Structure 1
Amino acid sequence: MTEKKFDFSIIMEDDNDAVPDDIWGGVPVREDRKGPKTIAILIFIGGLMILFQAYSDFQSHSLEDIPASEVDRLLEAPNSQTDTPITNEEYQQFHDDARESGGYLIRSIGLFISGTLITIGSINLFRLLKSGPKIATTGAGIGFIAGLYGSHLIRIASDENLSGALLLTYEIFTYLCGTCMFLCGAFSALPLINARARAALRDGSSKKVELQSNESEE
């Protein structure tokens, strides 16, 4: 009788070990390590682009007077498409109003924080850490709010001073900024939503726990 009980306990242990830890809706989920790493590479590139835009906005905020040659280059294409060209003085006034409203500075600071968090989050996601998508999604949310608000302030300045194609450009840029940050946030959150990707993620302390348990067994 004791021998039968011993055999039965071994069978039960083997059956329990065969059941995957991550089960969704009663169906075993297989880990997907490739998907999260691909997303990590994409949002890493996005984070670098956001940091570049933040640096560009900071330069615009720091620049008091735009050189006449630079203004001529910026206005060349828009003025060729309208009967009422924008003068250098009007564009300079737009630049001054945008700086005074804080639009460039708000967008620069917000996008810098956003780009930094997204870059850090992408690195952690590539290492398959659960903190990665959470950090990146938080960064995308900050960039979405700051980017939209800063772009809105700049667009108000453009409404008061510009016209034609250039006015439309700043209006489109507002929606483009919001759309890009939304997509970046959606990609960042995808590993937390997808069951197979989520099964591949682990806590940062898991390796330490395994090492400690192995050392204690030895």
Structure 2
Amino acid sequence: MSEKQFDFSIRMDKENSTPELEPFDITVTPDTKGPKSVAILMFFGGLLLILLAFGDFQLSQQEDLTDEEIEIILETPNADLDTDISNDDYQKFHDSARQGYLIRAAGLAISGSLIVLGAPFLYSLNKKGAYLGIEGAAIGLVTGVLGSMMINDAAVEYLSGPLLLTYKLLTYSCGICMLICGAMTSLPLVNARARMALNGKHKVKIKADSEGEE
């Protein structure tokens, strides 16, 4: 075999050894279950916020607590030897915290209403529901934290012992819960497949054609 024939044979072997890539396509379908699941969570979460708002509203409208109610509240904190909160001190705390209860009640009521209102829209794959949920969570975050801070300030002035930590933790927990709520309601707008469902797109097909090297 001559040198030219040998070189030509090597070239042919290299060409034949290159695998051929067949064209493929990927079909991306929208995620309709995700937004609907979020909508269900939004609905029940909004109802919970409305119930919490109702409780705060009742506290804001209650001028004088009975001695029996105060004793029940202070039974556990006063069991601590370093804590001695009188009924008068707790009544002063309650009077000072009523405005904070009212602000938090109003904010949570508006927040819960917007979230409950947005749930059916999101369940029907309308992006308006997600926006309503985000707006509600933002309102609940601002008013909830503001009202809780006012209540905590009243607690610092008139209370002592474990109750101080309790009202401080309530401030943080209110903010964290509303942040989680806002993050949850924004998921359908962040996830690509869920966003496709909200935009009304049925599917997207991606095709790729690859040729072997010569």
Normalised by the size of structure 2, how large is the TM-score? Answer: 0.79
Determine whether 1:187 maps to 2:180: no
Partner of 1:21: none
Give the % identical residues. 51
Displacement after TM superposition at 1:166 (Å): 0.8
Determine whether 1:139 maps to 2:111: no
Partner of 2:64: 65
Q: Distance in 1 between matches of 2:81 and 2:178?
A: 32
Q: Tell me the number of residue pairs that the alignment of Structure 1 and Structure 2 aligns.
A: 176
Taking a change above 3 Å as real, the CA distance of residues 152 and 200 of structure 1, as seen in their structure-2 partners, is same
Q: Which of the two has higher C-alpha Rg?
A: 2
Give the ranges of 4+ consecutive aligned residues of structure 1 lying more than 6 Å apart after TM superposition: none
Structure 2 regions of 5+ residues with no counterpart? 1-25, 201-214
Where 1:32 maps in the other structure, the secondary structure is coil
Displacement after TM superposition at 1:83 (Å): 2.6
1:65 corresponds to which letter in structure 2? D
Task: Give the number of the structure whose residues are more often helix, by fraction.
Answer: 1
1:56 corresponds to which letter in structure 2? G
Range that drifts further, 73-82 or 135-144: 73-82
Map Cα deviations across residues 4-54 of structure 1 (whole Å, 9 max, x no partner): xxxxxxxxxxxxxxxxxxxxxxx7632111111111111211111110111
Partner of 2:197: 200
**Any conservation in 2 of the 1:29–1:195 contact (CA below 8 Å)?**
no
**Greater relative contact order (Cα 8 A, min sep 6): structure 1 or 2?**
2
Map Cα deviations across residues 34-88 of structure 1 (whole Å, 9 max, x no partner): 1111111112111111101111111011000011111111111111134332111
2:161 pairs with 144, 161, 164, which one? Answer: 164
Q: Distance in 1 between matches of 2:146 and 2:128?
A: 27
Map Cα deviations across residues 143-190 of structure 1 (whole Å, 9 max, x no partner): 000000011111100000001111110000000000000000000001
Displacement after TM superposition at 1:202 (Å): 4.2
Structure 1 regions of 5+ residues with no counterpart? 1-26, 204-218
Partner of 1:56: 55
Normalised by the size of structure 1, how large is the TM-score? Answer: 0.77
RMSD of the alignment, in Å? 1.5
